[in-house]
Amino acid sequence: MEINKFEEVFEGKLAKNEMVEPKDWMPENYRKHLIRQISQHAHSEIVGMLPEGNWITRAPSLRAKVVLLAKVQDEGGHGLYLYTAAETLGISRDELLTNLHTGKAKYSSIFNYPTLTWADIGAVGWLVDGAAIMNQVMLQRASYGPYARAMVRICKEESFHQRQGFEIMTHLAFGTADQKAMAQDALNRWWYPTMMMFGPPDADSPNSENAVKWRIKRETNDQLRQKFVNQTVPQVEYLGLTVPDVNLKWNEAKKGYDFSEPNWVEFKNVISGNGPCNKERLAARNKAHDEGAWVREAAQVFAKKRSEVYAAA
């Protein structure tokens, strides 16, 4: 078959809403786009363990401790499915990790913000995981099979995480005055960074067009952001907290809220390494990897020794 025949088959699958599988032919740009998107997603899960893990030893009740541990572990599990999905595209985990550790690969910028109080653990679960779900629900129908299937599992767990975050916020918002203030402060600090998670406005989003065309993405950044605001504002009201945006107003004509854009200059700064915790996050990942080198080596040497013993027997 000539290349254009392969392309016809590929385009046909997209048109018929069929899955593209690892052994199928795919355009090089499609493969590259997927490797970039899936590995960024995997890195985000792994780096995301750090800000939340920051509060495991200080979780204020035994139940909160167990739930948070389980949650952070889930994020690690998501990282694992996603690295595995990325590997089906012909790139090794080592290569992916090297890209993360050297700063070549990106991860979600939200994790470059610090978790300063216990309320931040609530806000991360509620807002950040809430925004992630909004991004990810459509990925369950993404055109690449291994990615779509990983996302089905991930989405189920993420919606549990969002409830866990909201539960923390509920305890705080309906708790003592100090707790409520802690909840409001967390909302103030996480609102705009969460809005940034949907990416730059459509007009400035370089990767969106292909992603929609290839059915890797089904809604645009701005559509998703609007949806998120519409969904979240009533939750803020339920908690008796205030969205830190004086321009927030219901717009009957569009059946949605008008709201202020996040600070896109800050967004660019955080992406390019100047966020409050970029250096710490990368340093923590590098430290864990470097200090784990002898562990991984011991496991390999041991496995080799044992297989030689079996071979000789």
Binding site for another protein (CB under 8 A): 46, 49-50, 53, 56-58, 60-66, 69-70, 72-73, 76-77, 79-80, 83, 118, 168, 171, 175-176, 178-179, 284, 287-289, 291-299, 301-302, 305
CA 74 – CA 21 distance, rounded (Å): 26
CB of 95 to another protein, least distance (A): 15
Torsion sign across C-alpha atoms 61, 66, 69, 70: negative
Min dist. Cβ of residue 294 to another protein (A): 5
The least CB distance from residue 264 to another protein, in Å, is 30
In terms of CB distance, is 242 or 300 closer to another protein? 300
Chain position carrying tokens 């599992």:
153
What span, in angstroms and rounded, lies between the C-alpha atoms of 118 and 123?
9
| CB-based burial label for 80 (10 Å; 0-12, 13-18, 19+) | middle
Q: Is the CB of 64 or the CB of 211 nearer to another protein? A: 64
Measured from the CB atom, the residue of 141 and 306 that comes closer to another protein is 306
Nearest distance from residue 109's CB to another protein, in Å?
A: 18
Q: Among 52, 77, 83, 78, which residue's Cα sits nearest to residue 65? A: 52
Q: Based on CB atoms, which residue is closest to another protein, 72 or 224?
A: 72
Considering beta carbons, is residue 31 or 171 the nearer one to another protein?
A: 171
Q: How far is CA 302 from CA 141, 144, 288, 306, 307, in A?
A: 42, 37, 21, 6, 9
Shortest distance, position 280 Cβ to another protein, whole Å: 12
Pairing type for strands 249-251 and 256-258 reads: antiparallel
